[in-house]
Structure 1
């Protein structure tokens, strides 16, 4: 069974609190010393007891470590806080950007045919040329798309025509020989001619037999 972490709180008993402080203080000073020796780090440690007694450890001179700490914090604050000159420059850049956005919005409305009351003849002529140029580009692109579609359809039509020719060739009648070895190579066109000359006499039997009968009669 896993127990939850015990919540850390102030030791109420003064004697126990003083004993714990002494043990933890000595352990913390020992760890600071080991860190400075093992890792060649510059370590400075300052402890004040509950009664205000002062304890310290420094791998070098304490004043030098404190001065170094102050210089580091001041440099970090100077980098994070923008100067007044930088703030003014950012304001000018923001204002210029907003002006450009307004001009672009006004130009967009004019292209859509809105707010043209303030335009003079030169501005209207320039706007007309821009629109004509845009329309020309759109038409050129449209013709290119049409041409690609027509080429694709043409290729598809050629493929279908070739497939149709192949199927037509396969659907022709196979050569047939009679008892005397003639009447060969009968195709659909020959059968069509036979039907064109057929009389309206009554005939009972299969169509194939009727066709052969008519062929031999001719």
Structure 2
């Protein structure tokens, strides 16, 4: 006969429930004793029956285990009341950051002419001087940017004028070659070959410009 597995639910029969309680309680206390002996552990067990009767087991004693639990609980409460160093540093950093943000926001509002009611004459004069210095820096930076853009445009203009002059010279040279060839009675194909051979190689930009002007290129 195999042992029937007990279903995990309340035993309705009072007598059977009391017998099971007594057996399981003795087994529980036996396991607690083994744990305490084998592992050198301090433990305490309190069990109340359905009738309200108290059963207990402790090692080494109930009083010592309870006092140890209370001491540990007090230490944990102290740790909770006193945050860790990392948490204190983090809170301090957040506070400083928040204060710095508030100060900067207040300063920016003063820069645009707000929240000036609490400033005295001396503070208003300092704010005016600060604004003048800032405005001067902005104007100087703007002028430097303008000068830089003008210089870049002038360099581009000079390059375009140089390219235009070069193209003009090439066109004049080809025109002279064509006139000379016509005067010599050469064919149109010969004139084209002479013009092509006399056209000097140029960089890509000049080739694109020559194509737009309808000029031959090698």
Tell me the TM-score normalized by structure 2.
0.52
1:23 corresponds to which residue? Answer: 23
Contact 2:177 2:194 (8 Å CA) reproduced = no
Gaps of 5+ in 1: 1-6, 83-96, 169-186
CA shift for structure 1 position 14: 0.9
Contact 1:44 1:58 (8 Å CA) reproduced = yes
2:190 corresponds to which residue? Answer: 209
Higher relative contact order (CA 8 A, sep 6+): 2
The reply to whether residue 33 of structure 1 matches residue 33 of structure 2 is yes
Contact 2:36 2:42 (8 Å CA) reproduced = yes
CA–CA separation in structure 2 for the residues paired with 1:132 and 1:195: 68
The SS at the match of 2:51 is coil
Equivalent positions of 1:120-159 (< 5 A) are 120-138=120-138
CA 1:12–1:127: 2 relative to 1, 3 Å: same
What's the CA shift string for 1:84-105, capped at 9, x where partnerless? Answer: xxxxxxxxxxxxx999887665
CA shift for structure 1 position 126: 0.6
1:193 corresponds to which residue? Answer: 176
Contact 1:47 1:54 (8 Å CA) reproduced = yes
Tell me the TM-score normalized by structure 1.
0.52
What's the CA shift string for 1:133-185, capped at 9, x where partnerless? Answer: 3345556766888899999x79xx8xx99xx9xxx9xxxxxxxxxxxxxxxxx
Moved over 4 A (4+): 97-106, 136-151, 187-190, 196-200, 211-214
The reply to whether residue 14 of structure 1 matches residue 14 of structure 2 is yes
The reply to whether residue 77 of structure 1 matches residue 77 of structure 2 is yes
The SS at the match of 1:45 is strand
CA 1:53–1:116: 2 relative to 1, 3 Å: closer
CA 1:208–1:188: 2 relative to 1, 3 Å: farther
CA 1:99–1:213: 2 relative to 1, 3 Å: closer
The SS at the match of 1:28 is helix
Gaps of 5+ in 2: 1-6, 83-96, 196-218
